A and B are shown apart, each in its own frame.
Chain A
Amino acid sequence: DAGVIQSPRHEVTEMGQEVTLRCKPISGHDYLFWYRQTMMRGLELLIYFNNNVPIDDSGMPEDRFSAKMPNASFSTLKIQPSEPRDSAVYFCASREGPGTYEQYFGPGTRLTVT
């Protein structure tokens, strides 16, 4: 398996623009997580899905952020409109199941909003 795939790897955009980050989880994994990494807060969970259904989105900063998982092999994280404080590395991770199953991380998307 190719592992968790994220695109783009780098995104530079201007304030106010819409940004869409994409993730393809490992095939057969039922859980998908979106994280944001910042210097101040480390790795923080934004939202996670189980069987394509959003379970906990309490980490989503505000209404400008939205996430979808239309099928088992694809998820998007959208920021509209983007702001400079959204600049961070966004990681997607997937797990086969609950319990002690390990999380596998994608390579991340480095977002810069100018």
Chain B
Amino acid sequence: ILNVEQSPQSLHVQEGDSTNFTCSFPSSNFYALHWYRWETAKSPEALFVMTLNGDEKKKGRISATLNTKEGYSYLYIKGSQPEDSATYLCAFNTGNQFYFGTGTSLTVIP
């Protein structure tokens, strides 16, 4: 079983604040790293998939970076809004299987 860790476990920020969180994963057997956004009572929705060391992806106010050599990815949210409140999951992709972290729960306070 591969160990994928996310930190912090939960985060409360004020509306307008920028924030970031971390996903750590093994540096071997790496194929891709995925980020998902998971709202309560819904299913996870894909945000980004990254494959190359140094990759950066951006979607609106959300961006992500990837460091495969040291085994981590950062997710950034600029100017957090209440609608950003969700759990953010990362998944380590070996090519066939995904190994999920336990997520970072973000609450944006209006």
Q: Is the CB of A98 within 8 A of B95?
A: yes
Minimum Cβ distance to chain B for residue A30 (Å) = 11
Minimum Cβ distance to chain A for residue B41 (Å) = 9
The CA-CA distance from A43 to B87 in the complex, in Å, is 12
Minimum Cβ distance to chain B for residue A26 (Å) = 13
Task: Point out the residues of chain B lying under 8 angstroms from A31, CB to CB.
Answer: 96
Q: How large is the interface on B (under 10, 10 to 19, 20 to 34, 35 or more residues)?
A: 20 to 34
Partner of B46, one of A42, A50, A91, A103: A103
Closest A residue by C-beta to B102: A42
Partner of B49, one of A41, A48, A100: A100
Task: Point out the residues of chain A lying under 8 angstroms from B100, CB to CB.
Answer: 35, 42-45
Task: Point out the residues of chain B lying under 8 angstroms from A41, CB to CB.
Answer: 102
Q: Is the CB of A100 within 8 A of B96?
A: no
Residues of B participating in the A interface, judged by any CB pair closer than 8 Å? 31-32, 34, 42-46, 49, 51, 89, 91, 93, 95-103
Residues of A participating in the B interface, judged by any CB pair closer than 8 Å? 4, 31, 33, 35, 41-45, 48, 50, 55-56, 91, 98-100, 102-108
Known: A99-B32, A100-B49, A102-B34. 17 other contacts (CB 8 A): A33-B98, A41-B102, A42-B102, A43-B44, A43-B100, A43-B102, A43-B103, A45-B98, A45-B100, A91-B44, A99-B95, A100-B32, A102-B49, A103-B46, A106-B43, A107-B42, A107-B43
